[in-house]
Amino acid sequence: MINLIAAEHDDPGYLALIQRIVNGALAILDVHEAFVVHIDNWFDHKWLRWRVGDGAELRVPPFTPNRVCSQSHFTCDDSGWVHHGPGSPLHVPQPGRPWLASRLSRISTSGAFIWYSGNTATNKVGSLLFYRACDEGYAWYASFKKGDDWAIADECRVTRRELLSFEDRGRQLELDEVHT
């Protein structure tokens, strides 16, 4: 399993929820490479399906590099997920030139690219963005809000049912990991 590590102002309950969703999505979609980027604060659905020009291919959303708290690169084999450090930086300075954003397929032809928000303990809202390189156009966004517990607040290009399915699969993976 890929474990998300809490930074100073991250709510552990939020991280637990999105960690289940992320791991469930990776398992259901049979993805074996992932780039996970922790963004400093909440972001909205405008980052979804970032395309430039003719829009033929998904590109790295142009988050300002100073918003990136951390980036991790993972691959999965028969023994599980292996962390390979940060990998090549996805977010590099490109002032006034968003069209230069890297095509996802130049970074990985089969990987998933995941962005999640920080500062959730303070904001009581969070966001999650999931792109898949090999499936042209496979990208979705979800936002979360904390009431008594963390819950899905909104979704875009993914159904609530799919998100709950990803969460259930992630929960199964957590239980399997405990029992091995």
Of all residues in the chain, the percent with pLDDT exceeding 90 is 68
Any domain includes 16: yes
Whole-number Å distance between alpha carbons of 161 and 164? 5
154: DSSP letter:
E
Nearest 5°: phi and psi at 108?
Answer: -155, 135
- Structural domain range at position 107: 12-178
Any domain includes 3: no
Any domain includes 56: yes
| pLDDT (tens digit per residue) in 4-51 | 988 999 999 999 999 999 999 999 999 999 999 999 999 999 888 665
Q: How many domains does the chain have?
A: 1
Structure tokens at 18: 């999105």
| pLDDT (tens digit per residue) in 76-134 | 998 899 999 999 888 887 665 554 557 777 788 889 999 999 999 999 999 999 999 87
Any domain includes 164: yes
Helices (runs of H) and strands (runs of E) counted in the chain: 4, 7
Predicted local distance difference test score (pLDDT) of residue 46: 86
Contact criterion met (CB below 8 Å) for 34 and 26: yes
Tell me the whole-structure pTM to 2 decimals: 0.92
72: DSSP letter:
E
Structure tokens at 14: 């939020």
User: What pairing do the DSSP bridges indicate for beta strands 112-117 and 33-39?
Assistant: parallel
Any domain includes 61: yes
| pLDDT (tens digit per residue) in 144-173 | 999 999 999 999 999 999 999 999 999 999
Any domain includes 139: yes
